[in-house]
Structure 1
């Protein structure tokens, strides 16, 4: 007879140590910090149970006593960097200002830890630091007159937008590293090709756009701020 599938488990529901026996040699914070160091230096694919075990100085099989699954390790990592949010003080009373601040903090965290865009998930929203962030979000949104579910949607959309923005930055940076010429030269070549296609008349709406003049790309931070402002505008109560 086939064995019964393992029951789902939340790593945070497991006691880090029991009341009996010697104190564990390593803490979850130690393990998470080691994994984050590896991911920051060499990327997420470099994070393995074997390498994390070597980083903290224990055997690979011993590490499984602390972290049963690779997914649990990712959850510890995401929670650790979620602790980088500055949640000191109280909400300002201006929900837009508070959400703008949290979005910019998220941008900084994801830029410092670029691997996180690959593993960030609502699955990891029950960790201690994630719950602190979510509670701050809800406190900041008390003055926004929309249903509670809409407030959660707003937070989800901000996170998703920041993740997409950072992922695009990463893709551009990776492309730049992989070619032997400058990003400016490639952009010029691609721009010239695009213009040659637009001038064929096959794309009349693009031709009309270029005829009106397209502003050159500006400061990426300004582009981020515009994106965020438009997102927040969409949640302003109407009338």
Structure 2
């Protein structure tokens, strides 16, 4: 494969340019921005080294001089998106700060619906990823727990946000592809579910549905999921 390194390497440990020769025509920021534009417009599957090179107006082999692997390109993209996190001064209320961070992460994922597919610890060492992690740990300063445990809290919270938002994005994409409205689809499914519960074969589900009055508050469900993660680490609530 073109540009394949003989040993594993991290793109951030690789000089953006050597001290010799002419100034490079593109920066990593240029490359990342081009890839993000493509992913936003066409989805992650539309991102390829060839496609990004065309967006920049250079040859594919030239792009490998800047980004040795497609995985490195993904890492540049995640770092570019990480810059959208607004780093605010912690309020002193670690729960409120972490809820705000989680909500912001969800909003970023909705702006860039391909991001959940790339959420991995593999891409967690970029400058903006480290900046965001350090910010979260600063927000958690009032919490009397080891830093390693606080790091687990951040990872678990991000995992919940990623899973929940992935489902939201998938549902929205499916709805857009249907020849009928989401309300019509839900009405048919609810009617079928009601008919099955009415058979008496699912008494516990029937009890659960009886306790539910009106439409499910999806925003409330999301917030409660986040709160329960925080509860698990909160000495005052365990």
Q: What is aligned with 1:173?
A: 172
Query: How far apart in 2 are the matches of 1:177 and 1:151?
Result: 39
Query: How far apart in 1 are the matches of 2:208 and 2:34?
Result: 50
2:79 equivalent to 1:79: yes
Three-state SS of the structure 1 residue aligned to 2:233 is coil
Q: Could you list the runs of 4 or more consecutive aligned residues of structure 1 that deviate by over 3 angstroms after TM superposition?
A: 218-223
- CA shift, 1:216, in A, is 2.7
Q: What is aligned with 1:10?
A: 10
- Stretch deviating more after TM superposition (102-111 or 218-227): 218-227
- CA shift, 1:162, in A, is 0.9
Query: How far apart in 1 are the matches of 2:203 and 2:85?
Result: 47
2:225 aligned to which of 219, 224, 227: 227
Return the TM-score normalized by structure 2: 0.93
Flag the 1:131–1:233 CA change in 2: closer, same or farther, 3 A: same
- CA shift, 1:16, in A, is 0.3
Three-state SS of the structure 2 residue aligned to 1:110 is helix
Report 1:88-237 matches (<5 A): 88=88, 90-210=89-209, 212-237=210-235
Where does structure 1 lack aligned partners over 5 or more consecutive residues? none
Query: How far apart in 2 are the matches of 1:197 and 1:232?
Result: 36
- CA shift, 1:200, in A, is 1.3
* Superposed CA RMSD: 1.5
Flag the 1:197–1:175 CA change in 2: closer, same or farther, 3 A: same
Three-state SS of the structure 2 residue aligned to 1:234 is helix
Three-state SS of the structure 2 residue aligned to 1:144 is coil
Please list the CA deviations of residues 141-178 of structure 1 after superposition, one character each: whole Å capped at 9, or x if unmatched. 11111222221111111111111111111121122122
Return the TM-score normalized by structure 1: 0.92
